[in-house]
Amino acid sequence: MGTTAVMERPAPGGMAKTRRRRVMGLGTLLAVLVAAAALSLAVGARALSPAEVWHGLFGAPTSDQRLTEIRLIVETVRVPRTVLAIVAGIALGVGGALIQGFTRNPIADTGLLGVNTGASFAVVSVIAVFGFSDPFQYVWFAFLGAAVAGVVVFGLASIGRGAGNPLTLALAGQGITVFLMAMTTAVALSNQASLNALRFWNAGSVAGVGFDVIWPVTAFIAVGLVLALTTLPSLNLLNLGDDVARGLGVNIALSRTVGITAITLLAGAATAACGPIAFLGLMVAHVARHLTGPDYRWLVPCAGLLGAVVLLVCDIIGRLVVRPGELDAGVVVALLGAPFFAVLVWRGKFRSA
């Protein structure tokens, strides 16, 4: 991703072939995502047939006890978690690709700007201070904590001559993350209610959140996505180095500000709704780069779709492995995704550039 990124393997057959491969790849991912979404509606503690899912989605109200029950399951449990998995997956995938681009660091993850620890700190704090017990009460505090952390990190990295340069940004993010982690632990160790909430919060999950939370979260993520898409052309140039980008007419400060705002919105909103889901953004950014090449205009949409597919599939798997209980999607992403990713790394699929 550094200055060598543009030197990546030219595809045999030139640009037309590359473009065809990218379009095919995105199309395939989209098809997989639709299939996974359908599966997500049918699978769970109670397996449903396609006809039953159809009725649950579009059926008219009936007096039939069984059908009413099915409608209830589909409408109040499966549809929300499916939508959230897709939305949060897209947000974390796009966020992961962007943070690696803007920090020029291939081991940056969506938590780097402090959004995960900012959210965690907010959660343990409001529980310690106000004694909230219901997750719905602290979703917005979590989002606020994430956003404040992101703003503080970017502000600190932009002081003076910094202008949010990649290295300063990464290290400032790391420093603030460290500090917030310490504060979170300090609060949790002195308050048992906080500690109890923190352990459940840390296992990122897409379940148990209603549309009253999902819609506003989706709105924030939509804004983040629009901002993200506007930065992609300049992000390509930024990765040629600041001097080259400046010479080609990129407004570096503006581009970075918009980019970091997008990352904060995307990762912050996803984290507020699900809790911290680590590793997903880092992983799909690398896989997407391998699939599309270094052009961020293709890499970022691909990372978003991959993020949605991985999070959704992991949520489905989590519902199946320890029935009647469930494994949280965030835990499954790490348990299954990480070994898969490690194999790809070992086989030399990813270059450091």
Partner 1 sequence: MNVTEVKPTLPPGVRLGRVSFFWRPWLVGVSLLLAAAAFLVFCVSIGVGDFPIGLPQVIRTLIGRGEQVDEFVIMDLRMPRALAGLVVGIALGVSGAITQSIARNPLASPDVLGITTGASAVAVFLVTVSGGAAAAVTDTVGLSAAALAGGLGTGLLVYFLAWRRGIDGFRLILIGISVSAVMEAITTWLLVTADIRDVAQAQAWLVGSLDDRSWDEVQVALWGTLVLLVVVAAVAFQFKPMHFGDDVAAGLGVRYAAVRAVLLLCAVLLAGVAVSAAGPVPFVALVAPQVAMRLARCPTPPMLASGLVGALLLIGSDLVARAVLPVSLPVGVVTAAIGGPFLVYLLVRANLR
Which residues of this chain interact with partner 1, rule CB under 8 A?
1-5, 104-108, 112, 156-157, 159-162, 166-168, 170-172, 174-179, 181-183, 185-186, 188-190, 192, 195-196, 199-200, 202-203, 278-279, 282, 286, 327-328, 330-331, 333-335, 337-339, 341-342, 345-346, 348, 350, 352-353
**At what angle are helices 252-274 and 211-238 packed, to 10 degrees?**
150
> Closest separation between CB of residue 258 and partner 1, Å?
21
Enter the DSSP assignment of 10: P
Question: What's the burial of 169, exposed, middle or buried (CB within 10 Å: 0-12/13-18/19+)?
Answer: buried
Please, which residue, 26 or 188, has the CB nearer to partner 1? 188
Please, which residue, 200 or 215, has the CB nearer to partner 1? 200
Please, which residue, 48 or 282, has the CB nearer to partner 1? 282
> Closest separation between CB of residue 74 and partner 1, Å?
27
> Closest separation between CB of residue 218 and partner 1, Å?
26
Handedness of CA 233, 31, 262, 221 (dihedral sign): positive
Furthest-apart CA atoms within the chain: distance in Å: 70
Please, which residue, 172 or 299, has the CB nearer to partner 1? 172
> Closest separation between CB of residue 5 and partner 1, Å?
8
Question: What's the burial of 31, exposed, middle or buried (CB within 10 Å: 0-12/13-18/19+)?
Answer: exposed
Residue 65 and residue 63: Cα distance in Å, rounded? 6
> Closest separation between CB of residue 44 and partner 1, Å?
19
Please, which residue, 52 or 328, has the CB nearer to partner 1? 328
Residue 80 and residue 68: Cα distance in Å, rounded? 18
Residue 18 and residue 280: Cα distance in Å, rounded? 26
> Closest separation between CB of residue 113 and partner 1, Å?
13
Please, which residue, 30 or 331, has the CB nearer to partner 1? 331
Residue 143 and residue 123: Cα distance in Å, rounded? 10
